[in-house]
Amino acid sequence: MSETRTITVELNGRSYTRTIPTRLLLADFLRHEIDLTGTHVGCEHGVCGACTVLVNGTSARSCLMFAVQADGQNITTIEGLAEVNGSLSVLQQCFHEHHALQCGFCTPGILMTLTEHLRDNPEPDEVELRTLLTGNLCRCTGYQAIVKAGLEAARCMREQGGLK
């Protein structure tokens, strides 16, 4: 139980090396070891999706993954979504403009899920986004504004000719 291991992760473009208990979850590593508290823990059993991050560009539940599994991997969290110049990403901006968040607790996971999907699927339709979002629970919004923001973000990114 007290076994530790030293890991190095590439996190939002920066390298971090830490010695951590082997049973530490990736979510807890991000939040409490690196102090990147933007990733939220909603259910700790992999259903709600609030803790979703990108591991080597692929979405993953950070509550179902040990931090040691991330050794040598490239992780992106909500703190890494903004543009290089610091402005909100197109998706973040669309969430703001369409009131796609209320309490904001599920938002990090939803942004990560959509960021991955819109990168690979630039022309999504509504059914596709709704199906995608079944992996993320939101109790506040009823999802309508989230779906709208996702579709609008895709449209904006197509117009801008690519996505960040």
Partner 1 sequence: MSEVFFGASVLRKEDEALLRGKGKFVDDVKMPGMLHAAFVRSSVAHAKIRRFNKQAALDLPGVHAVITHEDLPEPMRSRHLPLYVPNPHMKQVFMPSVLVKEETVFVGETLAIVVADSRYIAEDAAALVIVDYEDLPAVVDPRAAIVVNSPLAQATAGDNIIAQVPIHFGDTDAAFLKAAHVFSESFFMHRGGPFFMECRGVVAQWDDATQKLMMFASSQGSHRFKRAFIDLCDFDESQVQVITNDVGGGFGPKGSFYVEYAATAAASMILGRPVKWIEDRRENFTATQQERDQYWDMEVAVDDSGKLLGLRGRLVHDAGAYVTWGLVLPWIAATSVIGPYVLPAYHLELIVAMTNKVTCSPVRGAGRPQGCFVMERMMDRIARELQIDRAEVRRRNFIQPNQMPYNVGLTFRDGKPAIYDSGDYPKSQQIALDYFDYAGFEERRKAALRGGRYIGIGISNAVEGTGLGPYEGATIRISTSGKIVVYTGATPQGQSHQTTLAQIAADHLGVSYDDIRVVTGDTSSIPFGMGTFASRTAVNAGSSVHLASIEVANKVKKLASELLEVSPDDLVLKDGGVEVLGVPEMRKSLRELAHISSGMYGFSMKGDRDPGLEATSYFKPEQSTYANSCHVAEVEVDIETGHVKVTRVLVNHDCGRVINPMIVEGQIVGGVAHGIGNALFEQLLFDENGQPLTTSFAEYLIPMATDMPKVDVIHTETPSPLNPIGVKGAGEGGTIAVIAAIVSAIENALIPFDVTLATMPVTPEQIVLLTRNKTSFVAASKRYKTHG
Binding region for partner 1 (CB under 8 A): 1-2, 21, 23-24, 31-32, 35-45, 47-48, 50, 77-79, 81-82, 88, 92, 95-97, 99, 101-108, 111, 129-134, 136-147
59 vs 77, beta carbon nearer partner 1? 77
What is the Cα–Cα distance from 7 to 14, expressed in whole angstroms? 14
| Beta bridge partners of residue 5, listed in sequence order | 20
Cα–Cα distances (Å) from 128 to 8, 40, 46, 111, in that order, read: 36, 25, 21, 16
**Nearest to partner 1 of 137, 156 (CB atom):** 137
25: phi then psi, degrees, rounded to nearest 5: -75, 150
Q: Which is nearer to partner 1, 39 or 59 (CB)?
A: 39
Cβ(75)–Cβ(39) below 8 Å = no
Q: How far is the CB of 136 from partner 1 (least distance, A)?
A: 8
Q: Rounded to the nearest whole angstrom, what is the least distance from the CB of residue 6 to partner 1 in the complex?
A: 18
